[in-house]
Amino acid sequence: MNEFKKYIGQMENIAHGLSVIPRLEEEVFAEAALNGEVSRKYRTTVPLNSRREHGVFFTNEILAKKITHKFLLDFDRKSLIVDPACGTGNLLIECANKMPVGKTLSETLKIWSRHLSGFDIFPEFVRAAKARLILLAKVKTNQFDSNIKNFDKYFPLIRVQDFLNDSSGIEKASHIILNPPYNVLLAPDNFCWANKKISAASVFMDICISKAAVDSKIRAILPDVLRTGSSYRKWREHIASNVKKSDITIYGQFDNWTDVDVFTMRLQKSKHQKNLYKDIWGIPATSNTRLSDYFDVHVGPVVPHRDLKKGPMLAYIHARNADAWKEQKRISETRRFSGTVFSPPFVVIRRTSRPGDNRAIGTIIKGKRKVAIENHLLVLLPKKNTLGECRKVLKTLKSKATDDWLNERIRCRHLTVEAMKELPLGVKFHG
Domain ranges of the chain: 2-281, 291-421
**What pLDDT does residue 50 have?**
79
How far apart are alpha carbons 158 and 421 in whole angstroms? 46
User: To which CATH superfamily is domain 2-281 assigned?
Assistant: Vaccinia Virus protein VP39 (3.40.50.150)
How far apart are alpha carbons 286 and 278 in whole angstroms? 13
- Predicted TM-score of the model (pTM): 0.80
Q: Does domain 291-421 have CATH number 3.90.220.20?
A: yes
**What pLDDT does residue 230 have?**
80
How far apart are alpha carbons 267 and 85 in whole angstroms? 18
| Contact criterion met (CB below 8 Å) for 184 and 143 | no
**What pLDDT does residue 427 have?**
55
- The torsion angle over the Cα atoms of residues 24, 25, 28 and 29, rounded to 10 degrees, is -140
**What pLDDT does residue 275 have?**
61
Can you give the pLDDT of all 431 residues of the chain as single tens digits?
688 889 999 998 888 887 767 888 888 988 999 998 998 998 888 887 877 777 777 898 899 999 999 999 999 999 999 999 999 999 999 999 999 999 999 999 999 999 999 999 999 999 999 999 999 999 999 887 777 777 778 999 999 999 999 999 999 999 999 999 998 888 888 777 777 889 999 999 999 999 999 999 999 999 999 998 888 888 998 888 888 878 899 888 888 888 888 999 999 998 766 666 666 776 665 567 899 999 999 999 999 989 999 999 999 999 999 999 999 999 999 999 999 999 999 999 999 988 877 899 999 999 999 999 999 999 999 999 999 999 999 999 999 999 999 988 888 888 999 899 999 987 566 55
**What pLDDT does residue 430 have?**
57
| Contact criterion met (CB below 8 Å) for 188 and 203 | yes
| Contact criterion met (CB below 8 Å) for 414 and 378 | no
**What pLDDT does residue 16 have?**
84
How far apart are alpha carbons 98 and 95 in whole angstroms? 5
How far apart are alpha carbons 21 and 26 in whole angstroms? 7
- The torsion angle over the Cα atoms of residues 304, 306, 308 and 313, rounded to 10 degrees, is -20
**What pLDDT does residue 333 have?**
96
**What pLDDT does residue 152 have?**
77
Burial class (CB in 10 A: 0-12, 13-18, 19+), 180: buried
| Contact criterion met (CB below 8 Å) for 119 and 81 | no
**What pLDDT does residue 286 have?**
58
**What pLDDT does residue 431 have?**
52
**What pLDDT does residue 229 have?**
84
Q: Where are the alpha helices (DSSP H) in 2-69?
A: 2-16, 23-33, 37-45, 48-54, 61-68
